[in-house]
Amino acid sequence: MGFNLFDRSQYKMQLTVQGEAFYHKAKPLVAKYRQLPTDIAPILDNVESKIRVAWDIALDLSSVTELFKKTTLIYQHTVFHFNQMDYLASIRSLLAKEVDLAVCYADTFHIDLEYICLSKINMLPVCNDEYLQTMKSMHSDKWMRIMIEGTYFKLQDKDLMNNAKCLVKDMQASKQMILAGLGIGRLPKNLIKHEIESGQLRLLPADIALPLELSIYKIRNKQIEHGKVAQFLWNNLFLNESD
């Protein structure tokens, strides 16, 4: 190595200055080498180092938190990436093999993707009572639409096509703006059950907007060889049916 590790000039052999420095540099490397068989075991067992899941921005994560918790406990060497995106971005990401699994609404079906319907969500058109009464008293039909960015093409009503829109990033933001009396919008029935019962939100009359039912799917790319973690999620992923 070009230098002596040990000083043998004394009765008791000891490390040289260079040997001492080498020891401290080599010690963590040796530890990593000994850890290597444990680290590569998941790879040899077809356990992914990371899993990428696309989650529809219109969905609540609370219904699957227990599954994700269980998965992380079983596969502790896997890093999980959960990305909220609109359904069009989810499909593009699946086709580009940028995510392993998507949970989202779908209205078209690609030959390279596998779809299983998980749930049907009832989207109710609502607003708060003050906003409804104000618009009625003004005899106005210029309803402000509160909509989630990336989903408004599907949720658009022909009669309200030209009305002003306020686009938000997720369902919770949409709910808060509608509760605040800033406009009308569609929200999942199970998300606003309490607000409907308490009168904080009112269902819109049918001549303004109708309820809409969305089918939610778990989707994956058929062209990808899925590892154990992705398969575990796929096999165990279910959503509660909307009431």
Q: Alpha-carbon distance 80 to 69, whole Å?
A: 11
Ramachandran sector of residue 36 (left: φ over 0; alpha: ψ -120 to 50; beta: rest): alpha
The pTM score is 0.68
Radius of gyration of the chain (CA): 28
Structure tokens at 210: 């109708």
Q: Alpha-carbon distance 76 to 219, whole Å?
A: 24
What's the pLDDT score for residue 221?
A: 96
Say if CB 164 and CB 187 are below 8 A apart. Answer: no
Structure tokens at 109: 């079906």
Say if CB 184 and CB 131 are below 8 A apart. Answer: yes
What domains can be seen in the chain, in order of their start residue? 6-44 (no CATH), 50-120+215-236 (3.40.190.10), 122-212 (3.40.190.290)
Q: Which residues pair with 79 in a beta bridge?
A: 50
What's the pLDDT score for residue 233?
A: 92
Q: Alpha-carbon distance 57 to 59, whole Å?
A: 6
Q: What is the pLDDT along the chain (243 residues), one digit of tens a residue?
A: 676 666 677 777 777 777 677 777 777 876 776 665 555 555 545 688 899 999 887 777 777 888 888 888 888 888 999 888 888 889 999 999 999 999 988 877 899 999 999 988 888 999 998 998 888 888 777 788 888 776 644 555 544 555 667 888 778 888 999 999 999 988 888 889 999 999 999 999 888 888 888 889 999 999 998 998 999 999 998 875 444
Q: Alpha-carbon distance 154 to 146, whole Å?
A: 14
List all residues 6 or more positions away from 74 whose beta carbon is below 8 Å from its beta carbon: 232
Say if CB 120 and CB 242 are below 8 A apart. Answer: yes
Closest by CA position to 214, among listed 161, 173, 155: 155
Q: Alpha-carbon distance 102 to 115, whole Å?
A: 10
